[in-house]
Structure 1
Amino acid sequence: MMSPASAATPLPTPPLLNPTDEDEEDEDDQLSEADLAEMEAARLLREQQIGQRPGTLIIRDDALPPRLILTSYDEDYFHEHEYASYDELLHFFHKHPEKKHWIDVRGYRDLDLIQSLQADFRIHPLQMEDVLSDYQRAKVEETDDGLFLVSRMTEFTRQLDIEDDQLSIFTGPNYVLTFQDDYDDCLEPVRVRLRMGRTNLRRHSPLYLAYALTDVVLDHYYPTMAAIGDYLETLEERIFQGRSDRRVLNRILHVKKDIVRFRRLVYPEREKIAELLRMPDEDVPEEIKVFFKDCYDHAIQALDLAESYRETVSSLIDLYMSDQSNRANEVMKVLTIISSIFIPLSFIVGLYGMNFQREGPNGQINHLNMPELYSPWGYPALLALLAFIVVFQLIYFYRKGWLTNK
């Protein structure tokens, strides 16, 4: 049975991030009600798992209804269909044991379905518990039929957060079984390659499909890091243009948290692939290890980018603090110049504010007690003196470059 290839969905592009002065007030400083509800649900789920028997399957309240997509293929055959009934999917799977199959399960809400999959594909209860926990670090384990791999799919959102979803992969003699809790993913390029016809995906074993899924997850790290890099450049330009404020620092710290989180996601991915490369050829053939070595290189590059961006964030924080210090110095310079101008004026005014009596107790005239106060030109002369001092100081400060940025 041949089914027509559906239209390919383009790979999601990183968001265009360009914070401006007209941005609304940051909502990062305050958690929304949805964020608080999500944190509370996660806390309750963790508490619910405390003390449970190992291998206990717990479905989250916000889990999506499951969707079952079966892709069967070989070099000359391709069949892709979404099944409403698991029994129909299983019937087609057993009817074509000579084909290679990719069973994609999206959504975990149906516990009976999960238990049926666990029984039919001989999945260990602890491994199925890891699938449903949805916060496992990247890893690889051996199973009775093949391998169990966990990867983290990432995306940098317009809300400046790194979203990551778990992709669980089970391999068998003629199948790959994947689990994910969301309907959207980054695996569409693999589906497109399967629909294209005579490709390596069609010719190689199902383990090669597991490699292709791992590889596209790793490749999707680069748009995430590219979006972070573009945003860091935008923040840097904003600081250099003198438009930095407290919100800029909040954004820098937010991105720093995202980069640290991203590094925590990528580092286990590198260790997982390194463990795959160390497995015996009976589990991972040498011709497949060659491709996983390429994945290992991608993981190393992603880690290098994360380290580079972490240093960039530290430099941005130093740059921001230096900019704020320079601004404070500019303010202090202005205040110092104003104080310097008024210090001699205050001295002169204070000097003439002293109450020396012109006439003594016996009526005699004290000619040395500020006689200029009684001169007809005393007050204008004093004003002229004060104006001369101000002008002289301004000229002096200007020639020194203190009134300019030179």
Structure 2
Amino acid sequence: MRLTPSPKLPSKSILDRSVGQKPGSLSVSADALTPRLFLVSFDQDYYEALEFTDYDLLMEAFRSAPQARHWIDVRGYGNVPLLERIMADFQIHPLQMEDVINDYQRPKVEEGPNGLFIVSRMIAFLPDHTLDDDQLSIFTGDNYVLTFQSDYEDCLDSLRERIRVGKGSIRKKPVMYLAYAMLDVTLDYYFPAMAQLGEYAEELEDCLFEQPSKQLLSQILDLKRVVVKIRRIVWPERDKINEILRLDESVVPQDLKIYFKDLYDHAIQLIDLIDNYRETTSSLTDLYLSNVSNRMNEVMKVLTIISTVFIPLSFIVGLYGMNFSRENPDGSLNPLNMPELYQPYGYVTLLGFMALVVAGMVYYFYRKGWLSKD
């Protein structure tokens, strides 16, 4: 799992595939990482963790300890011949390996000849407020768990440490418990990601009240897309765990199903969280539109008040702008044609009257509460 932001299309490997190729064909993208091979072997009293550069040496170490339990970890897909050898040695179906390499599969579980094929998704909410989403593919066998992932870094270091120190019962229980522990750790990492997402949503909400902007709306919509993406992951995770609980006891022992039931409860909690955040992001969008509408209403109110104040003033100056002559053609005076124009203080009197009109209107607006911001 990437620990630093990196632009990545979630379905990049799918886009790289050739259209119409034979089902089960293995084709990797040009930027696929060179595989790194790790082997963790353990039992109640024994532990060994090694990284191999030679696949033959890894298989020799794996086969030399049939009584132990093993975790074979392959990180990187950039070597198709190596992947084909792993397919042959562990009896992996080509269609399943195709799902591994084209690593944007929905979480799922399938039964195989040797055990289970499980797909999980590892997520992290990055500092740039985007979602890093990588696939973890798990194959189980009689005494091993085989995992594939496209990156060198993941979220399973705490599990490796638990195996190393022998903490808990992971080195005492069957190998299926190791597969459960991987799913448990992967799902546990969803909760801090959800907490960070919630904190970011609260930050956006605070910014909405301070200064809504188009950039803020874009951030809200990006967050909404992240929430939808997590929702598309969590629901299949729940269905996958439910399918595991329905498997026969010969595949998943009854005493281990209680652990998967706890995992199912965690998935339900995540679904509740993601549904809450989905409503939160929708309400943030509504809040933004409401704030923008309120700001527009405030602007329109100010402009309306200004226009209303100037309506009577425009009427008065328009009335006195009419050019009617006070003198008749015969030289006599017509007292009905604006006699106040010829008063010595007519201009000042008119300005005072207009000021009184404005003051009266402002006072009236104030008494009505139209000048308040609430």
The TM-score, its normalising length taken from structure 2, stands at 0.96
SS in 1 for 2:24: coil
- Does the C-alpha gap of structure 1 residues 291 and 12 become closer, same or farther in structure 2, counting only changes over 3 Å? farther
Question: What corresponds to 2:162 in structure 1?
Answer: 193
Query: What is the aligned counterpart of 2:16 among 35, 45, 50?
Result: 45
State the distance in 2 between where 1:79 and 1:42 align: 34
Matched, 1:291 2:229: no
- 1:60 CA displacement: 1.2
Kindly report which structure 2 residues correspond to 1:103-182, keeping only aligned pairs within 5 A, or say none.
Answer: 103-182=72-151
Matched, 1:77 2:46: yes
Question: What corresponds to 1:358 in structure 2?
Answer: 326
Question: What corresponds to 1:86 in structure 2?
Answer: 55
Matched, 1:58 2:32: no
- 1:361 CA displacement: 2.2
SS in 1 for 2:170: helix
Matched, 1:344 2:312: yes
State the distance in 1 between where 2:293 and 2:208 align: 13
Question: What corresponds to 1:7 in structure 2?
Answer: none
- Does the C-alpha gap of structure 1 residues 194 and 132 become closer, same or farther in structure 2, counting only changes over 3 Å? same
Single out whichever of 159-168 and 359-368 deviates more from structure 2: 359-368
Q: Is the 8 A contact 1:136 1:150 kept in 2?
A: yes
- Does the C-alpha gap of structure 1 residues 41 and 189 become closer, same or farther in structure 2, counting only changes over 3 Å? closer
SS in 2 for 1:301: helix
Equivalences, count: 374
Matched, 1:206 2:175: yes
SS in 2 for 1:405: coil
Query: What is the aligned counterpart of 1:385 among 353, 367, 372?
Result: 353
- 1:400 CA displacement: 2.5
- Does the C-alpha gap of structure 1 residues 114 and 253 become closer, same or farther in structure 2, counting only changes over 3 Å? same
SS in 1 for 2:309: helix
Q: Is the 8 A contact 1:12 1:186 kept in 2?
A: no
- Does the C-alpha gap of structure 1 residues 316 and 196 become closer, same or farther in structure 2, counting only changes over 3 Å? same
Question: What corresponds to 1:278 in structure 2?
Answer: 246
Listed one character per residue, the Cα deviations across residues 20-61 of structure 1 (whole Å, up to 9, x for unaligned) are xxxxxxxxxxxxxx85x9589657414x1x211111111111
SS in 2 for 1:65: coil
Q: Is the 8 A contact 1:156 1:228 kept in 2?
A: yes
SS in 1 for 2:171: helix
State the distance in 1 between where 2:244 and 2:149 align: 22
- 1:290 CA displacement: 0.8
State the distance in 2 between where 1:361 and 1:174 align: 123
Aligned amino acid, residue 310 of structure 1: R
Identity rate, percent: 55
- 1:401 CA displacement: 2.4
Q: Is the 8 A contact 1:147 1:171 kept in 2?
A: yes
- 1:317 CA displacement: 1.1
State the distance in 1 between where 2:243 and 2:228 align: 23
Query: What is the aligned counterpart of 2:293 among 318, 325, 333?
Result: 325
State the distance in 2 between where 1:39 and 1:195 align: 33
Single out whichever of 361-370 and 380-389 deviates more from structure 2: 361-370
Gaps of 5+ in 1: 1-10, 16-33
State the distance in 2 between where 1:39 and 1:266 align: 16
- 1:365 CA displacement: 1.0
Listed one character per residue, the Cα deviations across residues 214-269 of structure 1 (whole Å, up to 9, x for unaligned) are 0111111111111111111111111123x111111111111111111110011111
SS in 2 for 1:55: coil
Gaps of 5+ in 2: none
Aligned amino acid, residue 172 of structure 2: R
Question: What corresponds to 1:23 in structure 2?
Answer: none
Q: Is the 8 A contact 1:75 1:198 kept in 2?
A: no
- Does the C-alpha gap of structure 1 residues 227 and 39 become closer, same or farther in structure 2, counting only changes over 3 Å? closer
- Does the C-alpha gap of structure 1 residues 234 and 200 become closer, same or farther in structure 2, counting only changes over 3 Å? same
The TM-score, its normalising length taken from structure 1, stands at 0.88
Listed one character per residue, the Cα deviations across residues 161-200 of structure 1 (whole Å, up to 9, x for unaligned) are 1121000000011100000000111111111111112521
- 1:94 CA displacement: 0.6
The RMSD of aligned alpha carbons is 2.0
Aligned amino acid, residue 249 of structure 1: L
- 1:156 CA displacement: 1.1
State the distance in 1 between where 2:289 and 2:11 align: 35
- Does the C-alpha gap of structure 1 residues 293 and 41 become closer, same or farther in structure 2, counting only changes over 3 Å? closer
SS in 2 for 1:103: strand
Matched, 1:266 2:195: no
State the distance in 2 between where 1:40 and 1:361 align: 93
Q: Is the 8 A contact 2:2 2:132 kept in 1?
A: no
